[in-house]
Amino acid sequence: MNYDVIVIGSGVVGSALAHGVAKEGLKVAVLDAKTDIPNSYRHLSINKKSKHFLEQIGVWQNIENNAFPYDQIKVWDQEGTGFIDFNAREAGLSNLGYIVREGDIQKTLIDSFHKNNIQTYWGHSLEGINISKDRIICKTNKKTFQGKIIIGSDGMNSHVRNLSKISSRSWSYNQTAIVANFESSAKDMCIRQTFTSVGPLALLPMNSKEMTMIWSIDDEYAYKFLSMTDLEFTAEVKKYFGEHIDYLKLNSKRQNFPLHHLSAKTFAKNGIFLVGDSAHHIHPLAGLGLNAGIGDVDCLSELIKLNGLNEINKITSSYNGSRIPVNLALAASMEAFKRGFGQKNIWVRLLRNSAFNIANELTPLKKKFMQLATEL
């Protein structure tokens, strides 16, 4: 089986990349170890740059009906001394982004593969990669494929990364994210996040009647929160949110995700390109991981459009030069937030809170934060 581009992993990032390069006329195959299209009910925030890319590849109009816009983000700490809010009006925007169900974006992308003549191979788990002079051979459990380039979009435990001997740095955040959906009385378009004594707790509006919750809890307490009854757990969420929410009723299972940082040492070499979580994985507290992945896809699709596949070395150095620094800076900011808010030392907390309050006053500094969140 011969293709120009072989994409390993049909998550949102890999599927978006497949469209980005196939619309340039390249012959593209997408392989995934799963046997069918997954239907994740996790909700994610999509920033305006990601939305713009999804518009360009012609899928946003089918996602938009189920996407809920948010126009404000409020963040505070439990002591009531640190507070910051971002709102679309201050930035001259109609909203700051959208909350979308991951399964809706992925299904829309995959359902429209036929428009760009993209071939899919389900139940194909990558087992080997062999790089020769002008071809790369990929072996799955079922078939052998040949491509000019290979895209590793196979998530944090990427086989593409490991089989291509691209090393990475990774560590545990020692937190587990508990994700659940609630019926709620909140009627605005605001994302709320509070830094509790056990970890950051965020509620994101899914529509006018429901919210999704991401609570990144220190591992030592996570089991306790996971083993509570639904009523006990809801009571804890309300307690930590205080007066900001009056009605909450759990209406989904609680899912949990151990949280890790990962950063590949290089994002591209020898015709292998890593995009999304296979290249970088960050703490979900700012809801930017997928947006950073779509940023990779946007950059790589544009480089392939400009250079074609005869200039692979040029594409490799431009892609590394552009995406590694952006993602390192993002990972450093997340680490600073995480460490700053994890501080138990009173002086560090006071300093942190004054910095937060100053940031809330200083419009240029807030604009900088906002740029980071909306334009990765």
Give the chain's count of helices (H) and strands (E): 11, 20
Considering the complex, what minimum distance in angstroms separates the CB of residue 220 from ligand FAD?
19
Which residues in 23-62 contact ligand FAD (CB under 6 A)? 31-34, 44-45
Angle at 235 between CA 233 and CA 241, to 5 degrees: 105
Distance CA 84, CA 299 (A): 31
Helix, strand, coil % (nearest 5) of the chain?
A: 40, 30, 25
Contact residue for ligand FAD among 7, 12, 136, 138 (CB under 6 A)? 12
Contact residue for ligand FAD among 120, 276, 319, 330 (CB under 6 A)? 276
Q: Does 176 bind ligand FAD (CB under 6 A)?
A: no
Kindly tell me the sign of the dihedral angle through the C-alpha atoms of 89, 74, 209, 218: positive
Task: Write the CB contacts of 4 (distance below 8 Å, at least 6 apart in sequence).
Answer: 21, 26, 27, 28, 147, 148, 149, 309
154 or 210: CB nearest ligand FAD: 154
Q: Does 295 bind ligand FAD (CB under 6 A)?
A: no
248 or 334: CB nearest ligand FAD: 334
Contact residue for ligand FAD among 4, 154, 210, 298 (CB under 6 A)? 154
| Alpha-carbon separation of residue 287 from 21, 88, 129 (angstroms) | 26, 17, 33
Contact residue for ligand FAD among 20, 147, 271, 289 (CB under 6 A)? 289
44 or 57: CB nearest ligand FAD: 44
- Applying CB under 6 A, which part among 7-15, 68-76, 298-306, 320-328 lies near ligand FAD? 7-15
Contact residue for ligand FAD among 20, 155, 199, 200 (CB under 6 A)? 155
Considering the complex, what minimum distance in angstroms separates the CB of residue 311 from ligand FAD?
25
Q: Does 142 bind ligand FAD (CB under 6 A)?
A: no
Q: Does 271 bind ligand FAD (CB under 6 A)?
A: no
Considering the complex, what minimum distance in angstroms separates the CB of residue 90 from ligand FAD?
22
Q: Does 288 bind ligand FAD (CB under 6 A)?
A: yes
261 or 352: CB nearest ligand FAD: 261
Q: Strands of the chain (E only): list them.
A: 2-8, 28-32, 43-47, 68-70, 72-77, 83-87, 97-101, 119-122, 126-131, 136-140, 144-152, 168-184, 190-196, 199-205, 210-218, 248-250, 255-264, 268-269, 272-274, 280-281
Which residues in 213-232 contact ligand FAD (CB under 6 A)? 214
Considering the complex, what minimum distance in angstroms separates the CB of residue 273 from ligand FAD?
13
Distance CA 298, CA 293 (A): 9
Contact residue for ligand FAD among 153, 194, 196, 353 (CB under 6 A)? 153
Considering the complex, what minimum distance in angstroms separates the CB of residue 346 from ligand FAD?
30
Q: Does 100 bind ligand FAD (CB under 6 A)?
A: no
Contact residue for ligand FAD among 9, 147, 199, 295 (CB under 6 A)? 9
112 or 125: CB nearest ligand FAD: 125
Task: State the amino acid at position 197 in one-letter form.
Answer: S
Contact 11, 106 (CB under 8 A): yes
Contact residue for ligand FAD among 18, 67, 138, 177 (CB under 6 A)? 177
Q: Does 105 bind ligand FAD (CB under 6 A)?
A: no
Q: Does residue 339 sit in helix, strand or coil?
A: helix
223 or 247: CB nearest ligand FAD: 223
Distance CA 75, CA 86 (A): 9
Distance CA 126, CA 304 (A): 24
Contact residue for ligand FAD among 6, 8, 110, 222 (CB under 6 A)? 8
| Alpha-carbon separation of residue 356 from 111, 191, 198, 372 (angstroms) | 44, 17, 20, 16
**Residues at the contact surface with ligand FAD, assessed by CB under 6 A:** 8-14, 31-34, 44-45, 125-126, 153-155, 159, 177, 179, 214, 257, 276-277, 284, 287-291, 293
